[in-house]
Amino acid sequence: MIPSLAEKCGVFGIFAPGEDVARLTFFGLHALQHRGQESAGIASSDGQRIALYAQLGLVSQVFDEATLKGLYGIAAIGHTRYSTTGSNVLCNVQPLLVEDHAGYLPLIDGQPRQLALAHNGNIVNADALRADLESQGVMFETTMDSEVLAQLLATAPGATWEARFATLMRRANGAYSLTVLTRDAIFGVRDPNGIRPLCIGKLDTGHAGYVFASETCALGHLGATFVREVEPGEVVRIDQYGLTSLYTAEAQRSALCLLEYIYFARPDSRMRGQLLYQARIRMGEQLALEHPADADIVIGIPDSATAAALGYARASEIPYVEALVKNRYVGRTFIQPDQRLRDLGVQLKFNPLPELLEGRRVVVVDDTIVRGTTTPRVVAMLRRAGASEVHMRITSPPIEHPCFYGVDMATRGELIAAHQSVDDIRRHIGADSLGYLSIEGTTAATRQPQDALCTACFTGQYPREVPLQLDKFVLEQPGVRDRHAVVGVPPAAR
């Protein structure tokens, strides 16, 4: 995909006494790195205490042997983040560690019980919930909606976890797939609409154990087999007694994010029984039927649009060519390019092959156009490399509405399709033609009913009531962004 959309987070959890749970969590997060590249963290429990280590950076930058050895125990959760509510600062890294304030659960050695929480999604009414909790004397250390969930769970009335999660689901409006760690268990939670994914796997090792992961692609790396998805509105507990479905909220309309199928999830992941690689092939095939082009070659923007480009080529009988090479080691870096390199823009990430493009009429398949700032540079780059015509084909409908459920997209005023026609956008990006896949074609490729998916960014039909606009920094308080966070460090790393 041309860089423009960012999904909030990847979450992971494991309960496996006898296993190196921190190391397995590290590799689980590594498989989910595509879901967030700003920070990473792991919290582990040895059955008595929770240790936490989290920092800014990629998973491989944050953890080393010393930190992993300090995160020993029977269970762990992990998180890799892209911020959608709250700044990318140290105090906002996850998992979050909070004390159990409700007082219904027993003390451990005279100390309050703890819980750690990792969150994928976005809470629409986080500001109102936070104000209510602050009025009750709850102190906040971050500017994230995720801490609102953690504190809501820690302060909820009820002598059981079932009662507490019921309170959380009744009060929180938005998207949340959670992994929650206590001293002796982990919980996997999805909001009642199931907007963000979460699955369960079973370890195929000598020790009994289960894992939670945002995507099934993380399971194979760990030698785990897929069990099932956590259902919308369900709370699943994993402890020494195995796997238990603890609670399920009152049924609401299922609304898994359609962008998971189009772009966010890895192509080797499965959702609702569908391999995403095959779904993207079908999107490309349908796109060729809806928007044919008289062209010589088909190329895809690597990597997310590669499968769709293959589908387009197959259906159109136009040869597929890898004429655009991606530098897979650009990723996130803390070293900014100088102005000359910054002006080159997308050429830091993609390199065209003039020998394959010279004099050719090219179909370029991509998944989305959001603000319309990067696509013109790609078109211009292909023309400089010798393409005689550039025909853009997009495997989604035009994005006309902002997302409130965990995608750092844009305000409606920044979305190019919200105020320009398709032909206006074509002129803006400098393409010879432009075609978007219809909403019917996109959803049909997923083999899911349209009313079982969240299509709000395309249709404006949100699963639940949302505000007209939602500021990413709505929870920012004076001085909070500059506060030096105290992040728990495991003993071996001190």
Q: What are the tens digits of pLDDT across the range 204-225?
A: 876 679 999 999 999 998 999 9
| Domain with 297 in it | 275-459
Q: CATH number of the domain that 427 lies in?
A: 3.40.50.2020
pLDDT at residue 490 above 70? no
Give the mean pLDDT of the chain. Answer: 87
Same domain for 297 and 184:
no
Q: Is the pLDDT of residue 166 over 50?
A: yes
Q: Is the pLDDT of residue 3 over 50?
A: no
- DSSP-assigned letters across all residues of 400-466: -S---SSB----GGG-HHHHS-HHHHHHHHT-SEEEEPPHHHHHHHHTS-GGGEE-HHHH---SS--
**Residues 142 and 179 occupy one common structural domain:** yes
pLDDT at 330 over 90: no
Average pLDDT over residues 150-171: 92
Q: What pLDDT shows up at residue 332?
A: 45
409-431 per-position pLDDT tens digit: 668 888 999 999 999 999 999 99
**Given a cut of 60, is residue 445 above it in pLDDT?**
yes
Looking at 18-136, list the stretches that DSSP marks H as alpha helix, in order from N- to C-terminal side: 21-31, 59-62, 65-70, 126-135
Average pLDDT over residues 453-457: 96
Give 25-38 pLDDT, tens digit per residue. Answer: 999 999 999 998 88
Q: How far apart are CA 229 and CA 190, in angstroms?
A: 10
pLDDT at 227 over 50: yes
Is there a single domain that holds both residue 339 and residue 386?
A: yes
Q: Indicate whether 479 pLDDT > 50.
A: no
Q: Is the pLDDT of residue 85 over 60?
A: no
Report the pLDDT value the prediction gives residue 189, as an integer from 0 to 100.
98
Tell me: do 109 and 220 sit in the same domain.
yes
pLDDT for the residue numbered 100: 73
Q: Looking at the structure, tell me whether residues 282 and 247 fall in a common domain.
A: no
Q: CB burial class (10 A; 0-12, 13-18, 19+) of residue 386?
A: middle
Question: Is 199 one of the catalytic residues?
Answer: no
The predicted pLDDT at position 356 comes to: 97
Tell whether 243 and 281 lie within a shared domain: no
Instruction: Determine the pLDDT at residue 278.
Output: 98
Whether 45 maps to a domain, the answer reads yes
Specify whether 64 is located in the same domain as 153.
yes
- Model confidence at 466, pLDDT cuts 50, 70, 90, reads confident
Q: Judge if 16 and 134 occupy the same domain.
A: yes
pLDDT tens track for 261-297? 999 999 999 999 999 999 999 999 999 999 999 999 9
Nearest one of 331, 277, 337 to 307, comparing CA atoms: 277
* Count: domains in the chain: 2
Strands 389-394, 433-436: pairing is parallel
Query: Confidence band (pLDDT; 50, 70, 90) for 83?
Result: low
- CA nearest neighbour of 493 among 94, 13, 63, 75: 63
The CA-to-CA distance between both ends of the chain, in Å, stands at 40
**Residue 222 is part of a domain; what is its CATH number?**
3.60.20.10
* 143 has a pLDDT exceeding 50: yes
pLDDT-derived band at 309 (thresholds 50, 70, 90) equals very high
Q: Is 162 inside a domain boundary? A: yes
Residue 135's pLDDT is 95
Torsion of CA 396, 377, 80, 282, to 10 degrees: 30
Within a domain: 2: no
Clarify whether residues 232 and 323 are in a common domain.
Answer: no
| Chain position carrying tokens 């498989």 | 31
Helix axes 126-135, 145-155, angle to 10 degrees: 50
pLDDT above 60: residue 105: no
Give the model's pLDDT for residue 28.
97
Residues 188 and 291 in one domain: no
Domain membership of residue 268 (yes or no) is no
| Per-residue pLDDT at 33 | 93
Same domain, 349 and 453: yes
| Domain assignment present for 134 | yes
Please check whether residue 417 is in contact with residue 459, taking contact to mean a CB–CB distance below 8 angstroms: no
Say if 261 falls within a structural domain. no
Residue 402 belongs to a domain:
yes
Lowest mean pLDDT among 119-123, 173-177, 191-195, 337-341: 337-341
**Residue 57 near residue 81, CB atoms below 8 Å:** no
What is the model's pLDDT at position 473?
Answer: 43
Structural domain includes residue 80:
yes
What proportions of the chain, in percent to the nearest 5, are helix, strand and coil? 30, 25, 45
pLDDT at residue 202 tops 90:
yes
User: Does residue 343 register a pLDDT over 70?
Assistant: no
Same domain, 454 and 487: no
Q: CA 270, CA 285: separation in Å to the nearest integer?
A: 20
What are the pLDDT digits (tens) for 174-187? 999 999 999 999 99
- pLDDT at position 345 over 70: no
Q: What is the pLDDT of residue 109?
A: 47
Q: Concatenated DSSP letters for 189-200?
A: EE-TT--S--EE
pTM of the entire structure? Answer: 0.89
